[in-house]
Structure 1
Amino acid sequence: MAGELEKLKIQAYTEPDYSGAVLSEFHAYVNPSELTLAYEMEYDSAQGSGTTGSRMEFKQIKPGDLSLSFFIDGTGANGKLVDVQQQVEAFQSTTGYNGDIHRPNYLIVAWGSLQVRRCILKSASIAYKLFKPSGEPLRAVISATFTDNSDDETRVAIAQDQSPDLTHSRIFKDGDTLPGLCQQIYGQAGYYPQVARINQLSSFRDIKPGTRLIFPPVKT
């Protein structure tokens, strides 16, 4: 609904092209207060014989990192009681190693107007801050770094800022239709049943304004 607090969301997939159904989701209990995007340009700095400087020839943009922290409060001070360890395990289950595919899950991180990122978990640490006398944790902070999981073609498309082969995110507004948004993003309105299924919509005709929709990558 419009005006509802939007939470950062992590979705897990088992396929490297992010096809198929969402395996699991993790929603931030409290949205991050800080988010860091890091990226690195790679240059060829070969220097010619007898020269005093080098011409930095651009080679590529290396996969970037996204770093953020998740605060979990089980004291009820935020008006909602949660099981801290259960939330930590939900994060680990969504982002961590998956024995069925013999590797960590493929992830999508989405929040607000940020570019939806296809990534994998690079590292994570969990700091428990407060405990009950029994030793049960009452507060925790998960610090995580994700790294881009895009092939060269996708990174080029991101640089160009638009491609049906990328994951897109849209806030549904009055006057929007799902087929119309599919036409804008994919160039074909007929993808709306797949998009409705990915977003777990009971009816593509009854979408409330303010709803965030994920449009997965497709091959056109």
Structure 2
Amino acid sequence: MPGELEKLKIQAYTEADYSGSVLSEFHAYVNPSELTLAYEMEYDSAQGSGTTGSRMEFKQVKPGDLSLSFFIDGTGANGNLVDVQEQVEAFKSTTGYNGDIHRPNYLIVAWGTMEVRRCILKSASVAYKLFRPSGEPLRAVISATFTDNSDDETRVAEAQDQSPDLTHQRIFRSGDSLPMLCHQIYGNASYYPQVARINGLSSFRNIAPGTRLVFPPLEKT
């Protein structure tokens, strides 16, 4: 609804490709005040015998982490009375281990204009902050870290990697030409006959806008 505050949500799926319907959904009681995205590069630092230094050869970008905290208030101070333990269990059931698939659920984390994240839960902790005399918790903070679970093709597309030794996909647009795209990807327009053959094109001159084209690594062309 217009003007309504959008809450961060976590959706759970049982399929690795995120097909099928949403299994369950968790909505943040209060939106996080801080969200951390962490990335790590992996290098091969092997060095020769007798040397004092080594060249750091790039290997890959490791899956990134998303860390955030969820605050749950069961005092009703903001006019919305919730059961803290129920909310914690809802988070656990959505993000945690699923006996039907013998592993944690596959998750999507989405909030406003933030890039939708395909991920899985890496770690979580619950800190209870306030209690009734009976011991019932009234406030809690869930701190969670999710790790990227995108497939390789999606990660390459998100990184907009231009290396010619990776497979690329392009949507052919009006004004494009196959030689031009080959020049952009390979640095050599003369690869267009091989790319046309790989994509099953009868003519490289009459490609309909919207056609998805695959550009394989140079050694495969």
TM-score by length of 1: 0.71
> How far 1:78 moved relative to its partner?
1.4
Q: In the TM superposition, what whole-angstrom CA distance separates every residue of 1:69-119 from its partner, at most 9, and x where no partner exists?
A: 000001011121111111111000100111110111000000122111100
Q: Does the residue aligned with 1:39 lie in a helix, a strand or coil?
A: strand
Tell me the equivalent position of 2:42: 42
Q: How many Å separate the matches in 2 of 1:103 and 1:47? A: 39
Tell me the equivalent position of 2:194: none
Q: What letter matches 2:32 in structure 1?
A: P
Q: How many Å separate the matches in 1 of 2:45 and 2:61? A: 15
Alignment of structure 1 residues 68-107 onto 2, 5 Å: 68-107=68-107
Structure 1 runs not aligned, ≥5 long = 165-186, 189-220
Cα distance 1:53–1:131, how it changes in 2: closer, same or farther (>3 A)?
A: same
Q: How many Å separate the matches in 1 of 2:30 and 2:17? A: 30
Q: Does the residue aligned with 2:63 lie in a helix, a strand or coil?
A: coil
Q: How many Å separate the matches in 2 of 1:88 and 1:52? A: 52
Identical pairs, percent: 90
Tell me the equivalent position of 1:59: 59
Q: What letter matches 1:90 in structure 2?
A: A
Alignment of structure 1 residues 19-168 onto 2, 5 Å: 19-49=19-49, 51-160=51-160
1:9 aligns with 2:43: no
Q: How many Å separate the matches in 1 of 2:93 and 2:16? A: 18
Higher RCO (Cα < 8 Å, 6 or more apart): 1
Q: In the TM superposition, what whole-angstrom CA distance separates every residue of 1:94-147 from its partner, at most 9, and x where no partner exists?
A: 001111101110000001221111000011111111111121111001011111
Q: What letter matches 2:129 in structure 1?
A: K
Q: What letter matches 2:119 in structure 1?
A: C
Structure 2 runs not aligned, ≥5 long = 162-168, 171-209, 212-221
Q: Does the residue aligned with 1:40 lie in a helix, a strand or coil?
A: strand
* Higher CA-based Rg: 2
Tell me the equivalent position of 2:206: none
Q: How many Å separate the matches in 1 of 2:150 and 2:129? A: 35
The worse-fitting range, judged by mean Cα deviation, of 14-23 and 143-152 is 143-152
Q: How many Å separate the matches in 1 of 2:2 and 2:47? A: 57
Number of aligned residue pairs: 166
Alignment of structure 1 residues 203-218 onto 2, 5 Å: none
> How far 1:50 moved relative to its partner?
5.1
RMSD value, Cα:
2.1
Q: How many Å separate the matches in 2 of 1:69 and 1:63? A: 20
